[in-house]
Chains A and B, each alone.
Chain A
Amino acid sequence: MARKVTTRHKIVATAAAWAVALIIFFPILYTIITSFKSETEAIAGFKLIPSFTTESYREVQGQYNYFKPFMNSVILSVGSTLLALLIAVPAAWAMAFSPTKRTKDVLMWMLSTKMMPAVAVLFPMYIIFRDLGLLDSRIGLTLMLTMINLPIVVWMLYTYFREIPGEILEAARMDGASLWNEIVYVLTPMAVPGIASTMLLNIILAWNEAFWTIRLTTTEAAPLTAFISSFSSPQGLFWAKLSAASTLAIAPILIMGWFSQKQLVRGLTFGAVK
């Protein structure tokens, strides 16, 4: 039942919505614009049309070896996501398909670990990492990010798996499918979309994690969050370079984010809003 919409209403709403959207998006837009300016141009006052120089991008790579933290971000976010999935898929599967009275309590408890403020365990984590030789190592940070996001991964997978009807499994079993066939031909195709969404959201969260990635790294394993933070005490003119580094740091995740709006809502509200 479509409601009748007057053209005037639509035009007014459109103008208002675009105005607000552009204001909200402006800091990002202006960063992208500034990244194509020269350093002197960047501080020469407000200007929306840059000279389209790629000088800053070259300098960010040449002067700071940008590729290294970028690769670290990729390795950490993808690595920790895969590892978390490896641990979480069996757990979520078990909870969804053979739930017990305590399944809900376990889920709740997992969620509660997510609410522990990271800063409360900063020092213990630091000495544990130091004693295990994991400080500033990609392995250590991957493990950390895996554990941080594990509760969300289990939860998200659980809400997806729960929607797979159990009757289908029973039907497959009745038809004489072996456990292996059941998993490969029946469950996997139905579980893949949920796993993919979970993966996407988790990569975004891991990419943007900005406490442990800053505190537990120095140079070797430092991802983009730590790299960008080092720009907080700059020397000389750096506006255009900061913009170029920032643009590169947010672009991949911004694009991934645009494609995962729905999953984002679901994952971050633990299935409470769909």
Chain B
Amino acid sequence: MATRQTQTLARLMMAPSVVLLFIWMIVPLAITLWLSFQQYNPLNPIRDGFVGLANYALFYSNPAFFFAILNTLIIVGAVLLITIVGGILLAILLDQPIFGQGVVRILVISPFFVMPPVAALVWKNMILHPGYGVTADLARFLGLQPVDWFAQYPLFSIIMIVAWQWLPFATLILLTSLQSLDGEQKEAAEMDGAGALARFWYLTLPHMSRAITVVILIQTIFLLAVYAEILVTTNGGPGYASTNLPFLVYQKASLEFKIGQASAGGIIAVILANIVAFFAMRAVGKNLDK
């Protein structure tokens, strides 16, 4: 029924979104790309100018960049592992008949709504603080030496906080998927004598595979960009122990004013995200055809 008139109208209705998004994306990105080939330091402009690939070469020569990429991948990988495995187990648990299911569900998903700075500061001070945190209280109660988590295990501590924030998301989505599993199928499998483990492996897990894919992809996008959690806890340290790529780019740009290097780091971050995005798009796109 699409006449030419409605087609034109449709284009006009889409135009603001498309045009605004395009400008908003392409202009800053073009500036970053251009800057990534420049030496640009607002504090010391004498040596500013075109430097070719020198900023990118730093990714080979400067250990900070290497650590940043490694830490980025560790954070993404570890948090994914914890939240997917934990999320599947939790989803199965919450899918059981339990008293007060609604309340349990609310308690479990709550961390997802906590803004990152609050989550990080609460963990840093209330839970993990070596003097006044709950873990320190617990350690003293057990007669152990309290652990200074952020000094001794900085990356692990950040992974713990971020996993706490994202476990509810994974659980919620996997639970939603689990609840759409046909009860009769389960029963049929049960009657055929399939044990709980076999039912999980051959029925539940394949059913959840799509939801798992979606969780992995969406979390990866956000996990590649973890920032506030690092800013308010370790500030990237000690040394570069908990610096990821976004945080390094921020440090280079806002603290050291090495805009060229920061821009090269930004472009690398874009490339990393694009690799993920490529797979994400295919998965989400498939759903559109249905």
Contacts and interface: CB of A to CB of B under 8 A. Distances in A.
Interface string A1-33: 101010001100110111011101101101100
Interface in A79-98: 87-88, 90-91, 93-95, 97-98
B240 interface: no
A115 B277 contact: yes
A231 B273 contact: no
B231 A120 contact: no
B111 A28 contact: yes
Interface stretch (A51-59, A106-114, A133-141, A185-193): A106-114
Given A116-B270, A124-B31, A125-B28, A30 B121 contact: no
Nearest to A226: B117
Contact of A128 (B28, B137, B262, B280): B28
A123 B225 contact: no
A113 B25 contact: yes
A225 B117 contact: yes
Contacts of A264: 112, 172
A46 B138 contact: yes
Interface residues of A, number: 97
B46 to A, nearest CB: 20
B121 A113 contact: no
B254 A108 contact: no
Interface string A30-44: 110010000000110
Interface string B19-62: 01100110111011001000000000000000000000000000
- Residue picked from B2, B17, B101, most chain A C-beta under 10 Å: B17
Contact of B16 (A30, A91, A112, A249): A91
Contact of B122 (A10, A113, A117, A246): A246
Nearest to B132: A43
Contacts of A13: 93, 96-98
Interface stretch (B73-81, B163-171, B197-205): B163-171
B14 A94 contact: yes
A78 interface: no
Given A24-B167, A100-B10, A111 B18 contact: no
Contacts of A270: 284, 287
10 contacts: A3-B187, A22-B107, A90-B14, A119-B269, A120-B269, A246-B122, A250-B115, A254-B113, A261-B172, A262-B176
Interface of A: 1, 3, 5, 9-10, 13-14, 16-18, 20-22, 24-25, 27-28, 30-31, 34, 42-43, 45-46, 87-88, 90-91, 93-95, 97-98, 100, 104, 106-108, 110-125, 127-128, 147, 150-151, 154, 170, 204, 207-208, 210-211, 214-215, 224-226, 228-229, 231-232, 239, 242-243, 246, 249-250, 253-254, 256-258, 261-262, 264-265, 268-274
Interface of B: 1-2, 6-7, 9-11, 13-14, 16-18, 20-21, 24-25, 27-29, 31-32, 35, 90, 93-94, 96-101, 103-119, 121-127, 131-132, 134, 137-138, 141, 164, 167-169, 172-173, 176-177, 180, 183-184, 186-187, 210-211, 214, 218, 221, 224-225, 227-228, 231-233, 245-246, 249-250, 253-254, 259, 262-263, 265-267, 269-270, 272-274, 276-277, 280-281, 283-285, 287-288
Minimum-distance CB pairs A-B, first 3: A120-B266, A121-B28, A90-B13
